[in-house]
Amino acid sequence: MSFDYEKYIRPGKLPHIWCPGCGHGIVMKGLIRAMDALGMKKNNTAIVSGIGCASRLPGYIDCCTLHTTHGRAVAFATGIKMAKPEMQVLCVGGDGDGVAIGGNHFIHACRRNINITYLIMNNNIYGMTGGQFSPTTPTGAKASTTPYGNPDPPFDIAKLAIGAGATFVARGTAYHANQIEKLLVEAIRHKGFSVVEILDSCPTTYGRRNRFRSVVEMMNNLKEIAVSVQAAEHMSPEQMQGKVLTGVLYRDNRPEYVEEYQKVIEAAQDFAG
C-alpha cells in the first residue's frame, strides 16, 4: 500500500534541503509511519531538535515542533515534558548534536529516565558544517579535521545510553527502512527514556572522504555490517568482528522522572499545608 507521507508534512516544505542520498529523509519517513501507526495527534506531539542537518527534521513535520540551539534539544524537551506530561515528546538530531556538544544533556536524561523518545541519526560526522569528525567517527576514518585518519576511538551510542540508565535502547540503519518504523513504535510506547540510534549515510561529507563511491555503496555497507540481536546469538566473537548489533538492545523498567517529580510536588504541598 502506498503511504501518504504528505499529510504529515507542512505544505510547501518539500523538496527538503538534504543532499542526494542523505539518509535523513529515509529516517524521517520511518518516523512519519511510526506516528501514523500510533495514531499520534499533531497537537499533542512535540518534536524537538538541536542544530545540524538531522536537526532540520522537525521543520518538515506538521505537529508541535521546536528547533533549539546546538546540543540542547533534550533540555528543551525536558521542559516541555515537565510542563505538559500528557504530550508525547520526541527529540531528534545527529551524532554531533546528541553526543558531542549535547552529550551531557543526553546522559543525564538517560539517568533521569524521563518519558521522552530520542531519535539519533548517526552518520558519524558533522554534516552541516562540512565534515568535521564527531565522537562517533570510526578510528582511522577521514574527516575534514582528521585528514590523516581519526586517532580517537568512537562512542557506541547505544552502550552509552544503556550505561547512563536509558530504559529502552534500540539500533537500526537507514538501509533497514521498515525496521526504523518498528523500533520507533516500540520506543514511543515505552514509558521512560528511550533511545533509537539509526546508522545513517552522509555521502557528501563522510562517504566521499572514506572511499564510498556512491550512496548505494554506503547503503550496502549498512546492510552488510548490521546483525540482528537474534542472529548474533548464533555468532562467535570472531564472526561479530566489524559488525554492529541491531534491533532492541535493552529494555528495563524503572521509576519515570515526571511521576517521581510529581511526588516531590505533593510532598512539598503537604508540608506547606
Ligand X SMILES: Cc1ncc(C[n+]2csc(CCOP(=O)(O)OP(=O)(O)O)c2C)c(N)n1
Regarding 40 and contact with other proteins (CB under 8 A), the answer is no
Angle between helices 177-189 and 24-37 (to 10 degrees): 50
| Closest CB 71 distance from ligand SF4, rounded Å | 16
| Closest CB 68 distance from ligand SF4, rounded Å | 18
Q: Cis (ω within 30 of 0) for the bond into 15? A: yes
List, in sequence order, every residue forming a beta bridge with 250; answer none if it has no partner.
169
Q: What is the distance between the alpha carbons of residues 52 and 37, in angstroms, rounded to a whole number?
A: 27
Q: What is the distance between the alpha carbons of residues 34 and 32, in angstroms, rounded to a whole number?
A: 5
Regarding 207 and contact with other proteins (CB under 8 A), the answer is no
Q: Which of 101, 202, 248, 258 binds ligand SF4 (CB under 6 A)?
A: 202
Regarding 19 and contact with ligand SF4 (CB under 6 A), the answer is yes
**What sign results for the dihedral spanned by CA atoms 73, 78, 81, 83?**
negative
Binding mask 96-135 toward ligand SF4 (x if CB under 6 A, else -) reads ---------------------------x---xx-------
| Closest CB 2 distance from ligand SF4, rounded Å | 10
Residue placing its CB nearer to ligand SF4 in the complex, 68 or 201? 201
Q: What is the distance between the alpha carbons of residues 79 and 73, in angstroms, rounded to a whole number?
A: 10
C-alpha distance from residue 231 to each of 43, 173, 267 (Å): 40, 16, 49
Q: Which of 24, 112, 171, 176 binds ligand SF4 (CB under 6 A)?
A: 24
Residue placing its CB nearer to ligand SF4 in the complex, 22 or 170? 22
Q: Which of 30, 50, 71, 203 binds ligand SF4 (CB under 6 A)?
A: 203
Q: Which of 124, 136, 205, 246 binds ligand SF4 (CB under 6 A)?
A: 205
Q: Which of 80, 82, 177, 225 binds other proteins (CB under 8 A)?
A: 177
Q: What is the distance between the alpha carbons of residues 254 and 245, in angstroms, rounded to a whole number?
A: 24
Q: Where are the beta strands (DSSP E) in 104-218?
A: 117-122, 125-126, 132-133, 168-173, 194-199
Angle between helices 103-112 and 157-164 (to 10 degrees): 50
Question: Which one of ligand SF4, other proteins, ligand X, none is in contact with 242 (Cβ closer than 5 to 8 A by kind)?
Answer: none
Query: CB-based contacts of 252: which residues, under 8 Å, 6+ apart?
Result: 167, 168, 192
Q: Are strands 132-133 and 45-49 parallel, antiparallel or unpaired?
A: unpaired
| Closest CB 217 distance from ligand SF4, rounded Å | 14
| Closest CB 59 distance from other proteins, rounded Å | 14
List, in sequence order, every residue forming a beta bridge with 118; answer none if it has no partner.
91, 195
Residue placing its CB nearer to ligand SF4 in the complex, 134 or 246? 134
Q: Which of 1, 83, 264, 268 binds other proteins (CB under 8 A)?
A: 1
| Closest CB 197 distance from ligand X, rounded Å | 12
Q: Which residues bind other proteins (CB under 8 A)?
A: 1-3, 5-6, 9, 14-16, 18-26, 29, 177-178, 214-216, 219
